[in-house]
């Protein structure tokens, strides 16, 4: 009751500033499990406070669809974040009537998505969204799927991350000064800071809408609590032994179970007849092969280097070694041939010296 009286004595701006500080603490600095009752109760109380402030803002008609951003009072701009805060808080809420359960989350996720779209729509009316963001919001309003190639998705994530980091550094002044902003900055500078905060939340809002869509799809495919799925052989077990069934434990709300589903497989009687005739082709696999498929890389990797493979081939006689000639023997042989040729050449020179040209011509025809 004392906390309620203290809040009633605060102005709307003071209550909004206090709620934002609680939001930063519960959204970014909390170390408590999000599915704990304490965390969920804090979420619920903060949502109630933001919804009350939103009702006051709407009753005062601070914003108008026909109003331009330049015409908006600077002190009103932070209240445009109310829909963003409610979207982020609703996306984490799982509490209803003192019970925490995933069964309540789809409704809260739908509310979170609606708040995020309304937040972006308000900023679009003031011209804060760029051209690409406006087109994306229009597709979301129509319920159409945003189709992008993997390369464009990756590049978009990189660009948004860079923008978030830049805006995050620029907005550090909001957390450092808090209540002294009006005294430290002029009106135009303060308005630019508030607009940067809105742009930062725009990136977060688009990202959360995508995550909410995926989470809603996952939760829609979740089996109801207490359901059980039985797995057995398609052809049945002729010996009357059924495959083990994996039953979801009703005690655990998350559906956790320690039982392991048996991998279905064919019986030997379905593959080979009593006479030994093979009825269906089959492959015998070992546990090591199955383990390699599970923990492997999905592809066959080389087990040895090229040098090791060549050594293996040579050792097993699958490759012929290059014949190496006896260099010493060949060199001696060549040297003997050279000696005989030199000797014959010398003898021929000696003969020519002893018998000059024309010496045997008896008619003295010496040329």
Q: Which residues neighbour 24 within 8 Å (Cβ) at sequence distance 6 or greater?
A: 175
Q: Radius of gyration (Cα) for the chain, nearest Å?
A: 43
pLDDT of amino acid 321: 61
Tens of each residue's pLDDT in the chain, 367 residues: 456 556 777 888 889 989 988 998 888 777 888 888 999 999 999 999 999 999 999 998 888 888 888 888 888 999 999 999 999 999 999 988 888 888 889 999 999 999 999 999 999 999 999 888 888 898 888 877 676 667 777 877 788 778 777 777 767 766 655 555 655 667 788 888 888 889 989 999 999 998 998 898 888 887 766 655 444 444 444 444 444 444 444 455 555 666 665 655 566 666 677 777 777 766 666 777 777 777 766 666 677 888 888 888 888 876 666 655 555 555 555 556 678 888 888 888 888 888 877 766 665 555 5
Question: How many angstroms separate the CA atoms of 348 and 360, rounded?
Answer: 17
Report domain extents, the chain.
2-220
Question: How many angstroms separate the CA atoms of 177 and 230, rounded?
Answer: 60
Q: Which residues neighbour 244 within 8 Å (Cβ) at sequence distance 6 or greater?
A: 231, 259, 260, 261, 262
Which DSSP letter does residue 149 get? -
pLDDT of amino acid 292: 72
Question: How many angstroms separate the CA atoms of 85 and 15, rounded?
Answer: 14
Task: Determine how β-strand 95-96 pairs with β-strand 99-100.
Answer: antiparallel
- Cα first-last separation, the chain: 147
Question: How many angstroms separate the CA atoms of 206 and 65, rounded?
Answer: 21
pLDDT of amino acid 247: 44
Question: How many angstroms separate the CA atoms of 40 and 33, rounded?
Answer: 9
Look up the pTM and report it: 0.59
Cβ atoms of residues 266 and 237 within 8 Å = no
pLDDT of amino acid 156: 74
pLDDT of amino acid 232: 41
Q: How far is CA 247 from the centre of its chain?
A: 32
CATH superfamily of 2-220: TAP42-like family (1.25.40.540)
For the chain, the maximum distance between any two Cα atoms, rounded to a whole number of angstroms, is: 157
């Amino acid at each position: 009751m004392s906390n309620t009286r203290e809040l009633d004595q605060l102005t709307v701006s003071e209550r909004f500033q206090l709620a934002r500080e609680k939001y930063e603490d519960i959204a970014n600095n909390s170390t408590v499990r999000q599915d704990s009752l304490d965390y969920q109760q804090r979420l619920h109380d903060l949502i109630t406070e933001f919804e009350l402030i939103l009702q006051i803002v709407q009753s005062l008609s601070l914003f108008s669809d026909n109003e331009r951003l330049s015409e908006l009072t600077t002190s009103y701009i932070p209240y445009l974040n109310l829909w963003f805060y409610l979207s982020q808080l609703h996306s984490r809420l799982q509490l209803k009537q003192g019970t925490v359960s995933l069964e309540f989350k789809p409704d809260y996720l739908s509310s979170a998505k609606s708040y995020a779209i309304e937040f972006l729509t308000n900023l679009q009316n003031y011209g804060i969204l760029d051209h690409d963001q406006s087109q994306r919001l229009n597709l979301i309003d129509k319920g159409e799927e945003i189709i992008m190639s993997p390369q464009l998705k990756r590049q978009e994530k990189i660009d948004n991350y860079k923008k978030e980091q830049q805006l995050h550094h620029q907005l550090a002044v909001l957390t450092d000064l808090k209540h002294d902003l009006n005294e430290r900055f002029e009106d135009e500078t303060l308005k630019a800071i508030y607009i940067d905060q809105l742009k930062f939340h725009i990136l977060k809002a688009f990202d959360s809408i995508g995550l909410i869509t995926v989470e809603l799809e996952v939760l829609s495919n979740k089996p109801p609590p207490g359901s059980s799925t039985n797995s057995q052989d398609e052809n049945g077990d002729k010996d009357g032994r059924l495959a083990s069934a994996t039953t979801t434990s009703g005690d655990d709300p998350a559906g956790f179970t320690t039982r392991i589903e048996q991998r279905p497989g064919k019986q030997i009687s379905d593959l080979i007849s009593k006479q030994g005739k093979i009825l269906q082709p089959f492959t015998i696999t070992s546990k090591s092969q199955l383990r390699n498929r599970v923990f492997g890389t999905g592809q066959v990797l080389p087990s040895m280097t090229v040098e090791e493979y060549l050594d293996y081939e040579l050792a097993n006689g699958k490759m012929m070694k290059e014949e190496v000639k006896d260099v010493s023997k060949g060199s001696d042989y060549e040297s003997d041939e050279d000696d005989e040729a030199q000797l014959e050449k010398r003898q021929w020179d000696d003969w020519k010296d002893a018998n000059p040209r024309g010496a045997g011509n008896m008619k003295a025809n010496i040329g």
